[in-house]
Amino acid sequence: MRAMLDAHWTPAGYAAPNSAVYPWQWLWDSCFHAVIWHALGRTDRAVSELTQALSTQTSGGFVAHMNYQLDPHASEAFWGRTGASSITQPPMYGHAVAGLLDDDVDVPDALVTGAVRGLRFLIDHRARDRSGLVRLCHPWESGADDSPRWDDLCPGGWAPDRWRAAKGDLVASVVADRDGAALDNPAFPVASVGFNALLAWNARRLGASIGDTVLLDAADDLAAAIDRRWDGARGSWVDAGPTAEGSGRCRTADSLLPLLVTTNASAVDAVCAQLDDPAAFGGRYGPAGVHRSETVYAERTYWRGPVWPQLAYLLWLGLLAAGRTIEATDMASRTVAGAVRSGLAEYWTVDEGVGLGAIPQSWTGLVVIMAS
């Protein structure tokens, strides 16, 4: 893992997810890299990853999901901004910074403040659904780019090429402030339970580390709103917004991320059972990205069925937080086996461990932590 991250390290001070396929800096990728660097004892590089990821933060606290240090004008026309994108990604910097602080690493005050401001931007300024959940401004913000949960919003029904074009069009409808920070998108007003769970959990992690009661209270409020979206019959949390009665009910791995913040014991039981069940999410090489009985399940299709290591890592943390150590250890073992068999791929098939996407992909180094 160390050799892979070293090979992907750039002069800009971050590890590229994959030097050929993904040379730029992605927000949650770098946050996961920081967690891995920390585990490998390179806290200097962990701090560098996070510092670079937050380096384009706006005056209002918004953190872009892509940073173009290597060529600031590379996608300027597409995003309408120089050097960074106009949307965000799950704010995993809360978890990464908290982990460093909890281990008494000397984290620059500016980095801690930046992480707090990033979380507060989403909590205080991002548009909200009437459910109380924060809205996405684009499917890319969820990290789960082609999740079946967005299918209702693909014109003409989901198809890879049609959805690729639609995602490009959705950028133009983002409502931003004068600094280019995404506030809302009337064409994609989805309130994702997965994204909100990560926001709540990161706010809780960092809030606990620094004693920030504002973050802690906001995390509790979001967690309560998320738990009101639990559907016991489906064994999943349901997105709010225009997809709530349709594709927002699809059972996906990202829809189980509220496991990180839930207080619903029956929900924890249901999720644990599904993650172990080979007819549901259970797999020889980690948790499937989509419940196998969903009609959209596709073993090798991007975000429609394969194992994603970063989601497996987060679900593993959720199992540990729920006190399900045996289940967590078992899922970790299967995910680590999948990562190794796939060649440290970006994602891989559930039952055969066939590597897909970019190979190797830096965030798959998370299995170092899961194997410990």
Q: pLDDT-derived band of residue 196, with 50, 70 and 90 as boundaries?
A: very high
CB atoms closer than 10 angstroms to residue 232: 10
Q: pLDDT per residue over 73-111, tens digit each?
A: 999 999 999 999 999 999 999 999 999 999 999 999 999
Domain 2-370 of CATH type 2.40.50.140: no
Helix (H) / strand (E) element for 129: namely none
Is the model's pLDDT at 372 over the cut of 90? no
The two beta strands, 25-26 and 347-348, are: unpaired
Dihedral angle, C-alpha 344, 348, 350, 353, nearest 10 °: -50
Is the model's pLDDT at 167 over the cut of 90? yes
d(CA 189, CA 41): 41
Q: Where are the domains of the chain?
A: 2-370
Q: What is the mean pLDDT of the chain?
A: 97
Q: What does the angle CA 290 – CA 296 – CA 299 come to, to the nearest 5 degrees?
A: 60
d(CA 83, CA 156): 34
Those residues with Cβ within 8 angstroms of residue 143's Cβ, 6 or more apart along the chain or in another chain = 28, 89, 90, 195, 254, 310
Is the model's pLDDT at 1 over the cut of 90? no
Q: pLDDT per residue over 290-334, tens digit each?
A: 999 999 999 999 999 999 999 999 999 999 999 999 999 999 999
Contact criterion met (CB below 8 Å) for 31 and 54: no
Beta strands in 10-106 (DSSP E): 25-26, 66-67
Give the per-residue pLDDT at 248: 98
Give the per-residue pLDDT at 42: 97
What type of residue sits at position 92?
M
d(CA 347, CA 248): 23
Contact criterion met (CB below 8 Å) for 88 and 62: yes
Instruction: Give the number of residues written for the chain.
Output: 372
Tell me phi and psi for residue 199, to 5 degrees.
Answer: -65, -50
d(CA 128, CA 140): 18
Give the per-residue pLDDT at 124: 98
- Nearest in space to 295 (alpha carbons), one of 230, 231, 250, 236: 250
348 DSSP β-pair partners: 307, 355
Task: Please report, rounded to a whole number, the percentage of residues in the chain having pLDDT higher than 70.
Answer: 100
Contact criterion met (CB below 8 Å) for 256 and 315: yes
What type of residue sits at position 347?
Y
CA end-to-end distance (rounded Å), the chain: 13
